[in-house]
Amino acid sequence: MLEVDKILEKCGDFGRLQMIMLLLFCVINVLSALHYYSQTIISFVPKYWCADGLPASIESPVESSCLPLNRNISTPNTCYSYNYELYMGYQSFPSEMDWVCADAWKLTLGQSMFFVGSVVGSMVLGYLADVVGRLPILIVANLIAMTGNLLTIWSTNVTLFCMFRMISGIATDSNFVMMYILVMEYMRPSVRTLGLSICIGFFYCLGSMAAPWIAVLMRSWRGFLLTTSLPLLVVPLFYLIVPESIQWLISKQKYDSAVVCLKQVARINGRHVEESAYAEFIEECKCSQQNQKASPHLLDLFQTPRLRRHTLILFFKSMVITLCYDAVSRNVQGLGISPFVMFSLSATAILPACLLIIALQDRIGRKAMASASLLLSGIFISVTGGIIFAASASDKTTTLLVSLSVVGRFGVTVAYNSGAQYATELIPTCVRGQGVAAVHVAGYAFTFFSAYILFTRSVFSPLPEIILGVLSLLGACLCLLLPETLHRTLPTSLEDGENFGKNDRWYTFSFLEGRTQSAATLDTQNAKMYSQSTESAVYF
């Protein structure tokens, strides 16, 4: 809403309040990273072997084994107890519950239920955010995350584990996105991308790298969940400083509350704003709302052929990227190195990925960024699988595997972080909020299969890398069928969306096109893009 941007210029759109909100957003990045990856940390499976009939002091075998070690013709093929070689003394959930071999499916099911919860939570909390506001849902989501993790500590069987992981998963996404929306709305458009990307790059990376070492320090999965859950109690304190979304308040015609929030912004930023400015702002909002027409529905995106094709590609791209991002970030075992070290090394790709997006996305275009990043990750992930299949476990092979895995994580992180903006710009304004939210939920729904893909390593060692590599390469090819959006007037109506990029070919890229538009025109289009992106984001 242009009215909001104008009044924020008077109240301060990059002052002390925005700095405080960015600082709190950094805290949310660390906490959400710890919450998201708790699913991985508690599920590490150390080397194990059958302990039936063996003395406690026996030397551990080279590889994990589900069958008795001293097996003969009369020995049964079943095992009733296991010994473990714990990573750095860390007791994980499966090693405590003996959820390996025949019972490994229980852990996979519980991991999948986490993502079932994330789909349910994205839809339910997203709907409630439109009813009660962004700030209350931010607080509720983080409290749900804390509750789910603390309840998991008391899991004693597969039913309770699945139930409590699902509760924990409900908070996923909403515990981060609501703060993202609030910070974005209150910041000057020209610094949004830079400020938000730097916060995510540094502090989400920090939280991801710290997660495994907190587990090592606590020495048990229960201690890890307790240590990473209790800090979420600070989030309700955000209510004392973070203002509610102005755009949401205006959409609900809560004009007095909107003015109260604006006065809070001006006070903290040390600005004096005349009462007449607030009155003028409210009148402009009322006039704008009176002129609004009923918006089309999400299903209207599937009415015409080109728009339907673009929408389906965006859905598939979101599902592939989200699945690959989750699976690659959790695929830290079986590479010949401690999963704690591998997890931290893999997380180092987050910051460079964010910096690369800042540097290149507005230069080479969304289409080139999406295709190239998926192509890069697909190639390196596939090569990693080939090396796992062909090579021996030497030091050189381990170094190569780790390097390829980190590069693959880098590529899929670039694709994941840049993909949301591409969808936001390509879906017409009239259905952008519903469309982007649907694309977002579809991606989280597909991560249900992430744990099962990683589980295929027990069938064929390089199979997870092969599946993820093929999906990434397929996603890269499909992105070539989408039109470029950089330096173009974005579609506002369904008709605009149908005709958008009609003359584009699969090899049409922004950095190869001649720039005939004037600088003034480009500035105007960029301003519109920021405004439209803000409008769409409030529907997440």
Q: Is 0.85 topped by the overall pTM? A: no
Measure CA 454 to chain center: 19
Rounded to whole angstroms, the Cα distance separating 427 from 408 reads 28
In terms of pLDDT, which residue wins out, 258 or 389?
258
Equal fold, 16-59+78-235 vs 303-528: yes
Residue 293 CA: distances (Å) to CA of 208, 289, 290, 296, 430: 45, 9, 8, 9, 10
Q: Which of 47-61, 199-213, 405-419 has the highest mean pLDDT?
A: 199-213
Q: Where are the domains of the chain?
A: 16-59+78-235, 303-528
Q: Which residues pair with 220 in a beta bridge?
A: 91
Position 94 pLDDT exceeds 90 = yes
pLDDT for 2 equals 61
Q: Which of 230-239, 408-417, 431-440, 522-531 has the highest mean pLDDT?
A: 230-239
Q: Which top CATH class is 16-59+78-235? A: mainly alpha
Rounded to the nearest 5°, which phi and psi values hold at 84? -130, 145
Q: From 35, 203, 211, select the one nearest 118 (Cα to Cα).
A: 35
Position 440: which residue type? H
pLDDT for 76 equals 67
Left if phi > 0, otherwise alpha if psi is -120 to 50, otherwise beta: which for 259? alpha
Contact yes or no for 384/405 (Cβ under 8 A): yes
Q: From 307, 323, 529, select the one nearest 435 (Cα to Cα).
A: 307
pLDDT for 11 equals 94
Q: Which residues pair with 47 in a beta bridge?
A: 85
With a CB cutoff of 8 Å and minimum separation 6, the contacts of 175 are 28, 31, 32, 35, 138, 141, 142, 144, 145
In terms of pLDDT, which residue wins out, 535 or 36?
36
Residue pLDDT, tens place only, 277-329: 999 999 988 887 776 666 677 888 898 999 999 999 999 988 988 888 888 88
With a CB cutoff of 8 Å and minimum separation 6, the contacts of 217 are none
Residue pLDDT, tens place only, 462-512: 888 899 889 989 989 988 999 988 878 778 788 888 998 888 888 888 777
pLDDT for 263 equals 94
Position 399 pLDDT exceeds 70 = yes
- 3-state SS string over 150-195? HHHCCCCCHHHHHHHHHHHHHCCCHHHHHHHHHHHHHCCHHHHHHH
Angle between helices 134-152 and 174-186 (to 10 degrees): 150
For the chain, give the percent of residues with pLDDT over 90: 37
Residue pLDDT, tens place only, 100-140: 988 999 998 998 899 899 889 888 888 888 889 899 999 99
pLDDT for 414 equals 87
Protein fold of 303-528 = Growth Hormone; Chain: A; (1.20.1250)
Q: Which two tokens stand for residue 410?
A: 């880098």
- What b/e readout covers 180-207, taking b as 16+ CB neighbours within 10 angstroms? bbbbbbbbbbeebbebbbbbbbbbbbbb
Mean pLDDT, the chain, whole residue set? 85
Over residues 518-536, the mean pLDDT reads: 44
Contact yes or no for 418/361 (Cβ under 8 A): yes
